[in-house]
Amino acid sequence: MSRILFANFVRFIVLVFIQAFLLKNMTVYELSTPYLYILFVMLLPFETPNIVLFPLAFLIGLCVDAFYDTPGLHAASTVLLAFVRVLFVNVTVQKEGLDTDPQPTLASMGFRWFFTYALILTLFHHFLLFNLEVFSWNEIQYTLSRFLLSTVFTVFLIIISGLLFFRRKKA
């Protein structure tokens, strides 16, 4: 258990710093910005209690808000992400199969499930984030294009990181 706790602490720090110092300045034509920090909430173990999950989601969102100078936008979006995560996991995961690997990684859950999981959670996160950021119907086309392109970019980075860092366990 302490190994998983330490790994998640390191993941928290690394993802916040990658987001703040590398990905913050990486945009494609001012339309697509990756938000890889949401991977922290996505990869928390299935058994994480909601009383821990929601404050952790709020905390990582608040840390990113501090670097982006956005008062609460990322925190609110990440808490929504945690809520959708709870719903998605409750609907799709069978609890008796969790004894071997308690984390929702690409290697343990399979490509189709993990891709659907990452796509749905990223869609909800980005939709709220970009709509809170603009908060106007006047620029709806620009907001929707940013939302969709950023979702594609983020999910692509999440899948690539899943392929790079999580190896399939040998039977």
Query: Does 170 map to a domain?
Result: no
- Asked if residues 130 and 142 have their Cβ atoms less than 8 Å apart, the reply is no
Q: Which residues are 32's β-sheet partners?
A: 28
Mean pLDDT of 8-16: 91
pLDDT score for 171: 46
Number of domain units in the chain: 1
Mean pLDDT of 116-132: 94
pLDDT in tens, 77-122: 999 999 999 999 888 877 655 555 578 888 788 889 999 999 999 9
* Cα pseudo-dihedral 68, 72, 148, 123, rounded to 10: 130
**pTM of the full predicted structure?**
0.89
Query: Does 171 map to a domain?
Result: no
Name which residue leads in pLDDT, 87 or 167: 87
Mean pLDDT of 131-152: 88
Which is it for the CA torsion 162, 163, 165, 171, positive or negative? positive
Domain that holds residue 99: 2-165
